[in-house]
Amino acid sequence: MTKHTKNNLFKVYDSKPETPMDKTTRVVRQMVDEETKQRDAKNSRLRNARLEREANTPPETTATSARKKRSSRGVSKR
């Protein structure tokens, strides 16, 4: 009889084959990750363009502070 060791006592299994569900999950995750990268790149590009446009645009003068306040109509002082 042979002497049992950890090398010959237990069977060594290679990694199990990828099931169709595992393959689908992997492909979908790759697609979602790619879409996320594209969306983040687009958002970053648009944010930088907006900030650059705001930096180059002169500030607007507000005419609302120069308006007179309306007196409420229909209220009579007696």
In tens, the pLDDT along 23-73 reads 999 999 999 999 999 999 999 999 999 999 999 988 777 665 556 666 666
Q: How far is CA 14 from CA 18, 31, 56, in A?
A: 12, 28, 62
| Separation CA 35–CA 39 (nearest Å) | 6
Q: What is the pTM of this model?
A: 0.51
From the CA atom positions of the chain, what is the Rg in Å?
35
Phi and psi (nearest 5°) for 27?
Answer: -65, -45
